[in-house]
A and B are shown apart, each in its own frame.
Chain A
Amino acid sequence: MRIVIGEDEALLREGLTVLLTGAGMTVVGTAGDAGSLVERAREHRPDLVLTDIRMPPSHTDDGLRAALRIREEQPGVAVLVLSQHVQRRYAVELLGDHPSGVGYLLKQRVGDVASFEHALRRVAAGGTALDPEVVALMLQAAPRGSGDLARLSPRRREVLALIAEGRTNAAIARRLSISEKAVTAHVSGIYESLGLAPGEDDHRRVLAVVRYLGGLRPGEQR
């Protein structure tokens, strides 16, 4: 798995490189600012771009904008964005209309190396990885958002939130201490409530997340 890293803090950049290399991934390029991150991504055409949000030159959301640009230029490249703080609107912007190969995690999650690795691989494989904090923000906004979501029972919203985090049915079952069969039932119920036609399960999971997160677009008024 070939990765380009965008991080302005040199020590952390090196730490991440060591971590990823140790996990059997290849760091093909690193960048300390948004401009060179976009260039590295063009140059190396990696499988995944891992980037910080607040980076030079303006030290605001440069990393996020670079990530969006890379996705636009190379739709095949997976993007995992890290930040000290998470914003709901950034998640919505990142997921866009094609929420595959996208991740948005709090920076501190790198401490949980195994989960972090797992998230990286999931995103690189076209899945999603959303920080529980992000999902919590979504949940906060959701009840007043889409009518479809408002109809979901609290338990099903919980399941949907975990789907949005990118978890498998098995993981959700463990997390909620219920059987995997129960989870499957909830998931089917969710698909039905959201009006998602029967089809490939992975695809519907993605659509459910989009529906869930798409209740609001950036800048949209409520």
Chain B
Amino acid sequence: MITPGAGLSSTARPLRVAVVQIAVLAALLGLVELVLFVGTPEGPYWIVATITVTGWIYFAAGAYAWVRRPGNRMGPLLCAGGIVWLVAALVNTTYPPLVAAGMITATLGIAVVLHILLAFPSGRLRTRAARALTVLGYVTTIVGNSPVYLLDDQTVAGTNPLQIGDDPTLYELGRTLNGVALAVAVLGTSALLVRRLRRSRPEARRILTPLYLYGIAAAVVVSFAGQLARFADLGVYEIFLVQITLLAGVPLAFAAGVLRGGFARTGEIEELGAWLGAGERARGDLGPALARTVGDPSLTLVFRTDDGWVDGDGRPAPPTEDRALQVVRVGDRAVGAIVYDPTLVGEPEVVRDAGNVVALAVDRERLTAALLAGQEQLRISRARLVENGDRERRRLAQDLHDRLQGRLVLLALRFGQLPGGGDVAALRADLDEVLTELRRVVQGVMPSLLVERGLVAAVEDMAERAPLPTVVDVGVDEDGRRLPEAVEGTAFHVVAEALTNAVKHADASALRIGLHRADGVLHLVVCDDGVGGAVAAGVGLRGIADRVHALGGSLTIASRAGEGTRIEVSIPCGS
């Protein structure tokens, strides 16, 4: 038995409380820092304060993502980033142990950005390369940065509490090595992200590309600000402001990515449960609701029928390799499956949970889908009947042509060579009549021009022979490619029937035929200027309407009394 929402919210609530408590602590820590900064010799107070504010931004974004997506590690990671920033800010205090802590963590924020990039969207490092690059980032920014805090005596505050030497050669060498290592980490991360983008689906790419670009840009600009500053005429504080703004934007961008993208969405699963309970739903709403919950716009729902997987409209929907399939069960019975993008949805567990919540609703929609699948099969079998009928007519016409007409002509040839005489002449005349009659029969079964030259030629020919002035307007013939035989046959019958109707019943004085093919659909319009009043219920029109519908097309008749008759037909004819 499934009880949507209840069990989930009971675990979500304590987490929320805990996160709020940690956030309050971080806020207080920041406030203490801001007090300690008073009188700092490092620079203007507001500049110094921006570092603490950045820490708060990381923390706030992280805490929000954490609460909204408890199963996702991005939230905790962003919070950890916030702590790093709050610690790094301590360099601006005047108490030596705090200054030392701040100096050691001064560039750690860059490693955090790389970690965020590599761990997005799940917050977990899933490949060895990602783990190696993250470790490289941390080692470079803490250990690799050691020449700065061990050998530099340039601190504004006066003495460097960590200083153990002042060898400028060693200092420069260390800095160069560290710069190279950092470049390797940034470039490696970029390469990995590009590879991920290539492998991801277009929907995922739309979310990932801007985030990755922004993250990489931030890492590059911050890591190599000194080198970049040479190209721009910027002061120390301006460079610092650019850096801090870029870095402060990172948590906001990625928290937004977490909330928009497909990640652990306990909150949304609760919402999904509530939405299901509300009862105001239409068929087909379930898939989009799941897509919103899981955060994968490409998500679709398929249903289990005796003939395999079908979509909501009953059309066959076999699984494909690039999509992940989460089977939805009611008891032991598979009723449907959620088809989603594994590159966009970090954690399959979310999809499973969401599937459990909607299982009963999926089962209900399955019944509709199965019914529609039956209808679809019926439509296909009707189309097949029309196609078979058409093929039979063609075969019959061909047989009559090849066997009967040919043999009779041969017979006529032999008669013609017999010595003349009353009986022979009479027989010849009879045979000629039989041949003429047979010719008409064959034309009635399947016009030879339709077989030999296709629909356009046959319709033009019909227009020429029509007893009333008829204009044919033909659209793009798509490189002269022939239409499917059943479509040709059906369209020809539509025109023939419309012509008959115009002549026999409508008292029309002119006819206009439009024949256009675009985007895999044949559009046919036949208008006359007769008395109107034709209805689809008439035997002839009913027949062509049936044929058109069987081929998945549509037929409309506008025929108000006194306004002529306009018959419009669209038939899908392949691309």
Q: How far is the CA of A144 from the CA of B467 in the complex (A)?
A: 11
Smallest beta-carbon distance B453→chain A, Å: 7
Which residue, of B401, B432, B448, B461, has the highest number of chain A Cβ atoms within 10 A? B448
In the complex, which residues of chain A have a beta carbon less than 8 angstroms from the beta carbon of B408?
108
Q: How far is the CA of A1 from the CA of B201 in the complex (A)?
A: 73
Band of interface residues on A: 20 to 34
Smallest beta-carbon distance B336→chain A, Å: 48
In the complex, which residues of chain A have a beta carbon less than 8 angstroms from the beta carbon of B416?
19, 110-113, 116
Check A221/B461 contact, CB under 8 A, given A9-B406, A107-B405.
no
In the complex the two chains form, is B448's CB within 8 Å of A111's CB?
no
Check A15/B414 contact, CB under 8 A, given A9-B406, A85-B442.
yes
In the complex the two chains form, is B410's CB within 8 Å of A87's CB?
no
Consensus secondary structure, chain B interface? helix
In the complex, which residues of chain A have a beta carbon less than 8 angstroms from the beta carbon of B413?
12, 15-16, 19, 110-111, 113
Closest to B404 in A: A84
Interface residues of B in 387-416 (CB under 8 A from A): 398, 401-402, 405-406, 408-410, 412-416
In the complex the two chains form, is A222's CB within 8 Å of B409's CB?
no
| Residue B436 at the chain A interface, CB threshold 8 Å | yes
In the complex the two chains form, is A85's CB within 8 Å of B409's CB?
no
| Residue A54 at the chain B interface, CB threshold 8 Å | yes
Closest to B470 in A: A222
Which residue, of A16, A106, A111, has the highest number of chain B Cβ atoms within 10 A? A111
Q: How far is the CA of A107 from the CA of B452 in the complex (A)?
A: 17
Closest to B449 in A: A87
In the complex, which residues of chain B have a beta carbon less than 8 angstroms from the beta carbon of A84?
401, 405, 409, 439, 442, 448
Closest to B448 in A: A85
Q: How far is the CA of A19 from the CA of B474 in the complex (A)?
A: 45
Choose one: B417, B457, B474; the contact of A113 (CB below 8 Å). B417
Smallest beta-carbon distance A68→chain B, Å: 14
Smallest beta-carbon distance A65→chain B, Å: 10
Q: How far is the CA of A219 from the CA of B432 in the complex (A)?
A: 32
Smallest beta-carbon distance A34→chain B, Å: 13
Smallest beta-carbon distance B438→chain A, Å: 9
Q: How far is the CA of A59 from the CA of B463 in the complex (A)?
A: 25
Check A61/B452 contact, CB under 8 A, given A85-B439, A107-B405.
yes
| Residue B504 at the chain A interface, CB threshold 8 Å | no
Smallest beta-carbon distance B361→chain A, Å: 55
In the complex, which residues of chain A have a beta carbon less than 8 angstroms from the beta carbon of B210?
none
Check A137/B465 contact, CB under 8 A, given A60-B451, A113-B416.
yes
| Residue A197 at the chain B interface, CB threshold 8 Å | no
Closest to B414 in A: A15
Closest to B403 in A: A9
In the complex, 10 of the A-B residue pairs with CB atoms within 8 angstroms, ordered by the A residue number, are A15-B414, A85-B443, A88-B461, A89-B457, A111-B432, A113-B416, A137-B464, A221-B471, A221-B472, A222-B464
Given contacts A84-B405, A111-B413, 10 further A-B contacts (CB under 8 A): A53-B452, A85-B443, A89-B449, A108-B432, A110-B409, A110-B413, A111-B412, A112-B416, A221-B473, A222-B464
